[in-house]
A and B are shown apart, each in its own frame.
Chain A
Amino acid sequence: MAALQPVAPDALLPDYMPDVWRGCQVHRDIPALSSGYAKLDRHLPGKGWPLGALTELLTETSGNGEFSLLLPALAAMTSKRRWVMLLDPPWVPYPPAMLGHGVALERVMLIRTRNVEESLWACEQALRGVRGGAVLAWLEDPGFARLRRLQLAAKAGHKAAFLFRPMVAAQQASPAALRLQVRTQHKNAIRADISISILKCRGRRTSQAIKIRRTQQLPGFAPLSEAIQGSSPSVAVSVTAPSEELRHHSRSR
């Protein structure tokens, strides 16, 4: 009687079961777009924001660095003439600042809806619509079933889909491919490091918190390079009269 040979677990799984996730496989071929932060990219399975999948960004309060975390990726997308659609943002994305961060306004679309039902519908349409690009949505508690629909829509539209959700949503299950908790940590006036913990990450084990060093671009604080070049940082810019063009305009009225 032959002794039982140890069998590799992989051999037990027939090839026709591709849906069975095998821990030993390394997910290299996940489509992704670089986030613009090398440190974050290293921790994400496709070396960047997943494309064709939902990404959830959870924050205690809105405006905790979650939007600026996306700006380099949005700038890269719009420069490739892909659409970036903002669905019901809580405030106005200020055009001069968006352009200042490299986001081409020609490819930014703002969608406003009147109620929850419409916003979920519009989100799904936007995700399915034009192939490629990104959808950024601020949805009110969509629920698992609707998130699943959105996940499928994002896959169909090959979209980078970002949902901004409050911290309490971390307690609920979600079909999103990536769930991040984002927090800003201030070291001084302009050092605003972004601390990211990966709550869920499809295709990779979650890791410890990632800290991204970042200096906020604030008026009154000149970037370091300029200061070295010798131009004195202008602390206050006082504008007391309208520009020549405007003055002319007012006279002609």
Chain B
Amino acid sequence: MLWLALQFPHLSLDLVTRGHELCRDLPVAISDNVSRKQCVLDCNPAAAHAGVRPGLPVNAALGLLETLHLVSRDTQAEQDALQRLAAWCYQYSSQVTIIPQRTSLVLEVGASRRLFGAAEELAQKLNGELLQLGYHVRAGTAPTPEAACLAARHGLHISRASEIYSRIEKLPLDSLELDLNQGPALQKMGFRSIGEILKLPRKALARRMGPAAVDYLDRLTGSRPDPRPAWQPPEHFSSGMDLASEISTSQALLFPLKRLVSELCGVLRARDRGIQELHIYLRLDSRKSEQGEERFHLGLQQATRDESRILLLLRERLERLRLPRPVRHIRLRAGQLLPFDAQQNSLFMDKPDLSEQPVRPLLERLCARLGTDAVRGLKGIQDHRPEYSWSVRELDEPADCTAMPHRPIWLFARPQRCRIGEYQVLAGPERIEAGWWDGHDCRRDYFVVRDRTGCTLWAFREYKPEPGWYLQGMFS
């Protein structure tokens, strides 16, 4: 077994800055309550450049930099993010474990080596992809989960259990995950490196430090098994981000949306699922309220997990969106995760079959921009009155129709009044009298007429309900 640990050292900061393309110029800091005092917990390079340091009281930080964007730490959001990241990592390993107190994930990657290459390559790949999603990560591999966590902090890649001791013995003592006051106690005893602790007899150590610490050291070196519960990814996806600097143009929303969508697509790949529905919520006020929220949803004709396709549709949809106020928070929620049937490519590169190309991507694109009722088909209805004998239909409905080649090819949306004297009558009359049963009773005599420009038209003389001459269609 080989474990890959991913540690997110700046998770709370990443959650704030990942919605911004140019977060580098915006000084951001995270504050938290440390011993009853609001202190800076983490800050980005822009803030650090001005002298803001972790551990600095909030007032002092604001004194240094007036424009500092201070956000108080949200532990719940961090835990939710870890859950999502675990679901995302599920595409690289079937066994993912969350270690919440260390904001870390541990993945078993030994079994995935043939698929994704050596652990170091995979670590690099994950590092790059997570950076694309806006997360900074430290990765390390080792044959035990505890050693992997240690390796992640120091960027080590240990491939064999026999190497663990030699690789970690020189590391400083404070990299160990001991209880809060145990580390300083050991320091006071004169221990400096991990190797010195590991050399000590276990019984004596257990008397001093308690059995938990010894158990930890045994799991670290692999002399005691360390089974981990298999984490199960959830059956839904919802992800949001606060926007540190408000976004007021709809096109600028594309950047945070792209990050959310690629996160979603990773989760979908992991579960071999697709989505057909996507809900997007844009909160315009700092507080949650009904009226301060813009929402729209995106419907797809077929379950998909193609990032570029979803983004293309979102781009079209965003063009229609008008924002009354800047957006402060953006959230993306996927509808039901549906089974995904992937398109199989031919092995022999034969010519694509041109007879049946999928029309769905086109329909989705058109509907996303023009509205869902902009694209329709046509069907016939059994009725003698021309205006009731047709209707639009959804494109997947059957098109029942009776062929009538002698009818005009164009029908006017509604009959237009006309003066029959201006037309040359060619044929007629044809009596159509129907509709007494549904309240649209009519009695008409239809004629074929021709106007001066040479157009052949379909006119009728109505007797009931409103007497007069009308034009209803055109023969082309």
Chain A interface (Cβ < 8 Å from any Cβ of B): 60-61, 63-68, 71, 80-81, 83, 89-101, 105-106, 108-114, 118, 121-122, 125-126, 129-132, 183-186, 189-190, 192, 216-221, 235-243, 245-247, 249-250, 253
Q: Which residues of A contact B389 (CB under 8 A)?
A: 95-96
- Chain A nearest CB from B455 CB (Å) reads 5
Say whether, besides A96-B401, A105-B401, A110-B376, A220 and B430 are in contact (CB < 8 Å): yes
From the candidates B355, B399, B455, B474, name the one contacting A105 in the complex (CB within 8 A): B399
Q: Which residues of A contact B430 (CB under 8 A)?
A: 219-220, 236-238
Say whether, besides A130-B359, A216-B475, A239 and B432 are in contact (CB < 8 Å): yes
- Interface-side segment among B111-119, B299-307, B380-388: B380-388
Q: Which residues of A contact B432 (CB under 8 A)?
A: 239
Inter-subunit contact B413/A92 (CB<8 Å): yes
Once the chains are docked, how many angstroms separate the CA of A126 from the CA of B354? 16
Once the chains are docked, how many angstroms separate the CA of A243 from the CA of B381? 13
6 contacting pairs across A/B (C-beta < 8 A): A92-B411, A110-B375, A185-B454, A186-B454, A192-B456, A216-B475
* A-B Cβ contacts below 8 A, count: 212
Q: Which residues of A contact B453 (CB under 8 A)?
A: 60-61, 64
From the candidates B366, B401, B410, name the one contacting A126 in the complex (CB within 8 A): B366
Inter-subunit contact B427/A132 (CB<8 Å): no
From the candidates A91, A93, A113, A121, name the one contacting B378 in the complex (CB within 8 A): A93
The listed residue with most B CB atoms (<10 A of its CB), out of A246, A247, A253, is A246
Which of chain B's residues has its CB closest to A190's CB? B426
- Write the B421-441 contact mask toward A (1 if CB under 8 angstroms, else 0): 000001111111111111000
Inter-subunit contact A100/B406 (CB<8 Å): yes
Q: Which residues of B contact A61 (CB under 8 A)?
A: 453, 455
Inter-subunit contact A250/B438 (CB<8 Å): yes
Q: Which residues of A contact B399 (CB under 8 A)?
A: 95, 105-106, 108
Once the chains are docked, how many angstroms separate the CA of A58 from the CA of B366? 27
Once the chains are docked, how many angstroms separate the CA of A93 from the CA of B386? 12
The listed residue with most B CB atoms (<10 A of its CB), out of A90, A129, A253, is A129
Q: Which residues of A contact B355 (CB under 8 A)?
A: 80-81
Inter-subunit contact A110/B392 (CB<8 Å): yes
Q: B180 contacts the other chain (Cβ, under 8 Å)?
A: no
Which of chain A's residues has its CB closest to B399's CB? A105
Q: B225 contacts the other chain (Cβ, under 8 Å)?
A: no
From the candidates A71, A92, A93, A125, name the one contacting B365 in the complex (CB within 8 A): A125
Say whether, besides A111-B374, A218-B426, A243-B382, A96 and B404 are in contact (CB < 8 Å): yes
Say whether, besides A68-B409, A96-B389, A219-B430, A113 and B401 are in contact (CB < 8 Å): no
Inter-subunit contact B366/A219 (CB<8 Å): no
Chain B interface (Cβ < 8 Å from any Cβ of A): 354-359, 361-362, 365-366, 369-370, 374-380, 382-384, 386, 389-390, 392, 395, 398-399, 401-413, 426-438, 446, 448, 450, 453-456, 473-476
Inter-subunit contact B366/A95 (CB<8 Å): no
Q: Which residues of A contact B398 (CB under 8 A)?
A: 106
Inter-subunit contact A94/B386 (CB<8 Å): yes
- Chain B nearest CB from A218 CB (Å) reads 5
Q: Which residues of A contact B370 (CB under 8 A)?
A: 111-114, 118, 122
Inter-subunit contact A130/B380 (CB<8 Å): no
Which of chain B's residues has its CB closest to A105's CB? B399
Once the chains are docked, how many angstroms separate the CA of A241 from the CA of B435? 9
Inter-subunit contact B369/A121 (CB<8 Å): yes
Inter-subunit contact B402/A96 (CB<8 Å): yes
Say whether, besides A64-B455, A65-B476, A118-B369, A130 and B375 are in contact (CB < 8 Å): no
The 4 closest A-B pairs by CB, nearest first: A100-B405, A220-B427, A129-B362, A250-B437
Say whether, besides A94-B411, A100-B406, A113-B370, A221 and B377 are in contact (CB < 8 Å): no
- Chain B nearest CB from A193 CB (Å) reads 11
From the candidates A98, A105, A219, A241, name the one contacting B446 in the complex (CB within 8 A): A219
Once the chains are docked, how many angstroms separate the CA of A235 from the CA of B446? 11
Once the chains are docked, how many angstroms separate the CA of A131 from the CA of B352? 11
Inter-subunit contact A236/B361 (CB<8 Å): no
Once the chains are docked, how many angstroms separate the CA of A231 from the CA of B397? 38
- Chain A nearest CB from B407 CB (Å) reads 4
Q: Which residues of B contact A218 (CB under 8 A)?
A: 406, 426-427, 448, 456, 475
Inter-subunit contact A246/B437 (CB<8 Å): yes
Which of chain B's residues has its CB closest to A188's CB? B426
Inter-subunit contact B357/A131 (CB<8 Å): yes
Inter-subunit contact A111/B431 (CB<8 Å): no
Inter-subunit contact B366/A245 (CB<8 Å): no
Once the chains are docked, how many angstroms separate the CA of A220 from the CA of B375? 35
- Chain A nearest CB from B226 CB (Å) reads 55
Once the chains are docked, how many angstroms separate the CA of A210 from the CA of B473? 28
Inter-subunit contact A111/B390 (CB<8 Å): no
- Chain A nearest CB from B213 CB (Å) reads 65
- Chain B nearest CB from A16 CB (Å) reads 28
